[in-house]
Amino acid sequence: MLNDLLGLSILELSYIVASITFILGLKMLSSPDKARRGNLIAGYGMGLAIAATILFKEEFSADKWLNYSLILAGLVIGTVIGTRMALKVKMTAMPQMVSFFNGMGGACAGVISLVEFDHLRHGGEISAGMLIVILLGLIIGSVSFSGSIVAYGKLEGKIADKALPAGQFINISLLLALVGLAGYLAVSGDLSMPLMYTLLVLSLLYGVLFVMPIGGADMPVVISLLNSFTGMAAAFGGFLYGNQAMLTGGILVGSAGTILTVLMCTAMNRSLTNVIIGSFGGGGTSAAKSGEQGTVKEIGITDAAILLAYANKVSVVPGYGLAVAQAQHTVHNLEKILEDKGVELTYAIHPVAGRMPGHMNVLLAEADVPYPKLLEMEDANDDMANTDVVLVIGANDVVNPAAENDPGSPIFGMPIIKVWNAKNVIVLKRSMGKGYAGIENELFFHPKNRMLFGDAKDSLEKLIGELKNL
Amino acid sequence: MEDILILFYENREFIFLILVSIFLGIEIISNVPAVLHTPLMSGANAIHGVVVIGSIIIMLQADPTNYYALILGFLAVILGTLNVVGGFVVTDRMLEMFKKKAR
């Protein structure tokens, strides 16, 4: 008896410690110096909580050798595969990796609900409350799983953006069907396994259809949202088992993830409901502008190099194209050469440039670009009038003036980097293609702007070569 | 209705914990510089991997002859561990690049 009590006390104590490490870890992740330590601390807390659960949750009995071996085998398999994947992934593919791991957590929560539902059917004590928790865990976990996998596929370029005709109607009907079925299961007392599987299939389908039509520009928002979904699903599991570690961990992520999602939506001038219903604002607005365009001026490598070399201040606006071209090291080299020539170079970072918030920061950090050179959007905009040349590398929608002056544009109202306030703008671009919002960019026709066509990395290398000869 | 009230009363401490955690989560994230958004999302992603504990509890409590629970539980342990381990390792790799280089 005393032994039991001792074990359970150690277990609960471990959960308290783990919860504190989660809070501390998240807190430390918000400061550049402590972030890495914060992540490690949360990791240790997680290890502690897992070990304590295995050791102290149930009294050990030899009949359960199969259970214990399967737990250990599962832990080993998951660790080996997870570590390998995480170590192998390229820095540019980070967002989809996060999405993938998020999907795994969602799937885990969904499977837990399936087993617990079956447990209820076989003589577990049934309360409507617990049933609701199980059903919500299944729905949210499954939506998070299938949604994350679709997001992963889209970012990997394996799945194309596709909007179904009447997609909104289908999504809303599906959502209603989900709620109706879950409500029936919760209230009727009919614990039918086929109905539970139907709920599972509908949830998975909803996850797929929910992410499918969403364009690249909204991907960060979706991943963040799915991340907070999985947090909620984990919290439902915690509620089910009366487990503090799962509760605090899940809810912290659920609420923090939701706030992050809202912050990102605000930055892009999109409402969260609009994202959830799952339509990207392309329809109907594209016709608004297309006739009145001026001419596009091109600039050659030599002219561009001269312009840069004789500037006092240069600002680089990076976008997803920089990541695709893997040009982060090249742009850092350009920065060094220009600094040797006495040119001051900074980077203007739009909060949603790339595929995740902070994507550009991670990318440039990989190339050893020092922090103080990365300016946030507001600071960069304040500085713009004093800037001689702006180099826009692989960014499009985040520098599109339509966000300011075209109320019909889907990105109208989104804060942008006002590069046209600088004295000269050079846009490095592969072709005249559109950005991820799928709309025309007036900037290209702006009198101050000139285009340098070609692959970003290639153009930058040529610029560096030219600068060395000057 | 009665069921819901009972649920509330029986779990009042958890509900308290839930509410406090929600506010804590909001507070923590409101002060994060944009630079760290990706690592933060990734770190948070690893933390919700705590759901793996639920799958371990299933395995611990399952009857050794209940193969439905054992097989699905085993699968859930793998999935949850992937989330935890992969999540923390990826986050660590991202943050490694943020280290200040001695110049």
- Report chain A's terminal Cα–Cα distance, integer Å: 84
**What is the C-alpha to C-alpha distance for residues A108 and A238, in angstroms, rounded to an integer?**
13
Kindly report the nearest CA distance between residue A292 and chain B, in angstroms. Answer: 37
**What is the C-alpha to C-alpha distance for residues A365 and B40, in angstroms, rounded to an integer?**
15
Counting Cβ atoms within 10 Å, is residue A1 exposed (0-12), middle (13-18) or buried (19+)?
exposed
**Predicted confidence (pLDDT) per residue in A22-50, tens digit:** 999 998 988 878 889 999 999 999 999 99
pLDDT at B13: 83
Based on the fold, state whether residues B27 and B40 are members of the same structural domain.
Answer: no
Q: Is A319 on the interface with B (CB under 8 A)?
A: no
Percent of residues, chain A, with pLDDT higher than 90: 44
**What's the one-letter identity of residue A48?**
L
User: What does pLDDT average to in each consecutive run of 10 residues of chain B (103 residues)?
Assistant: 78 85 85 74 93 96 92 96 96 77 39
Residue identified by tokens 């365009």 is A293
Buried-exposed string A431-448: b where 16+ CB fall within 10 A, e elsewhere: eeeebbbbbbbbbbbbee
Contact present, A151 and A224 (Cβ < 8 Å): no
Chosen for mutation from A33, A88, A112 (greatest number of chain B CBs closer than 10 Å) is A112
Q: How confident is the model at residue A408 (pLDDT cuts 50, 70, 90)?
A: confident
Based on the fold, state whether residues B19 and B63 are members of the same structural domain.
Answer: no
Nearest CA in chain B to A33: B99
**What is the C-alpha to C-alpha distance for residues A272 and A265, in angstroms, rounded to an integer?**
6
Based on the fold, state whether residues B46 and B73 are members of the same structural domain.
Answer: yes
Mean pLDDT over the full length of chain A: 86
pLDDT at A9: 92
pLDDT at A455: 86
Based on the fold, state whether residues B43 and B88 are members of the same structural domain.
Answer: yes
Q: How confident is the model at residue A273 (pLDDT cuts 50, 70, 90)?
A: confident
Residue A183, in any domain of the structure: yes
Strands (E), chain B: none
- Domain region containing A54: 1-86
Q: How many domains does chain A have?
A: 3
B62, B70, B83 member nearest A105 (Cβ): B83
In this predicted structure, the answer to whether residue A85 has a pLDDT above a threshold of 90 is yes
Encoded tokens for A263: 């912050």
Q: Is A79 on the interface with B (CB under 8 A)?
A: yes
pLDDT at A366: 79
For range A164-193, the mean pLDDT: 86
Residues in B touching A39 (Cβ below 8 Å): 39, 43, 46, 88, 91-92, 95
Q: Which has more pLDDT, A216 or B56?
A: B56
Q: Is A353 on the interface with B (CB under 8 A)?
A: no
Half-sphere exposure of B26 (CA within 13 A, CB side): 7
Residue A118, in any domain of the structure: yes
Residue A214, in any domain of the structure: yes
The angle subtended at Cα A307 by Cα A304 and Cα A313, nearest 5°, is 120
Residue B103, in any domain of the structure: no
Q: Which has more pLDDT, A62 or B34?
A: A62
Interchain proximity A77–B81, CB inside 8 Å: yes
Residue identified by tokens 């989560």 is B25
Nearest alpha carbon to residue A303 among A423, A451, A455: A451
Nearest alpha carbon to residue A232 among B47, B6, B78: B47
In this predicted structure, the answer to whether residue A79 has a pLDDT above a threshold of 60 is yes
Based on the fold, state whether residues A266 and A171 are members of the same structural domain.
Answer: yes
> Which of A63, A397, A455, A458 does the annotation list as catalytic?
A397
**Predicted confidence (pLDDT) per residue in A163-177, tens digit:** 667 777 888 899 999
- Domain region containing B56: 36-98
**Would strands A344-349 and A374-376 be described as parallel, antiparallel, or unpaired?**
parallel
Based on the fold, state whether residues A106 and A130 are members of the same structural domain.
Answer: yes
In this predicted structure, the answer to whether residue A347 has a pLDDT above a threshold of 90 is yes
Counting Cβ atoms within 10 Å, is residue A398 exposed (0-12), middle (13-18) or buried (19+)?
buried
pLDDT at A103: 96
**Predicted confidence (pLDDT) per residue in A431-441, tens digit:** 776 665 667 78
Based on the fold, state whether residues B11 and B42 are members of the same structural domain.
Answer: no
Q: Is A415 on the interface with B (CB under 8 A)?
A: no
Which helix (DSSP H) or strand (DSSP E) does residue A202 occupy? helix A193-211
Q: How many domains does chain B have?
A: 2
A73-77, A118-122, B91-95: range with highest mean pLDDT: A73-77
Task: Name every residue whose Cβ is closer than 8 Å to that of residue A13 and which is 6 or more positions away in sequence.
Answer: none
Based on the fold, state whether residues B49 and B84 are members of the same structural domain.
Answer: yes
pLDDT at A94: 83
**What is the C-alpha to C-alpha distance for residues A180 and A202, in angstroms, rounded to an integer?**
12
For range A77-102, the mean pLDDT: 91
Reply yes or no on whether A397 is catalytic. Answer: yes
The angle subtended at Cα A242 by Cα A236 and Cα A245, nearest 5°, is 80
Cβ neighbours, 10 Å, residue B78: 26
For range A357-384, the mean pLDDT: 84
Nearest CA in chain B to A88: B90
Based on the fold, state whether residues A75 and A152 are members of the same structural domain.
Answer: no
pLDDT at A321: 84
pLDDT at A75: 97
- DSSP for A346-374, written as a single string: EEEE-TT-SSSTTHHHHHHHHTT--GGGE
Cβ neighbours, 10 Å, residue A242: 12
Residue A292, in any domain of the structure: no
Based on the fold, state whether residues B60 and B86 are members of the same structural domain.
Answer: yes
**What is the C-alpha to C-alpha distance for residues A377 and A379, in angstroms, rounded to an integer?**
6
Based on the fold, state whether residues A386 and A428 are members of the same structural domain.
Answer: yes
C-alpha torsion A354→A359→A363→A369, nearest 10: 110
Based on the fold, state whether residues B53 and B93 are members of the same structural domain.
Answer: yes
Q: Which has more pLDDT, A295 or A312?
A: A312
Percent of residues, chain A, with pLDDT higher than 70: 91
Task: Name every residue whose Cβ is closer than 8 Å to that of residue B96 and which is 6 or more positions away in sequence.
Answer: A36
Residue B70, in any domain of the structure: yes
Q: How confident is the model at residue A294 (pLDDT cuts 50, 70, 90)?
A: low
- DSSP for A133-171, written as a single string: HHHHHHHHHHHHHHHHHHHHHHHTTSS---PPTTHHHHH
Residue A233, in any domain of the structure: yes
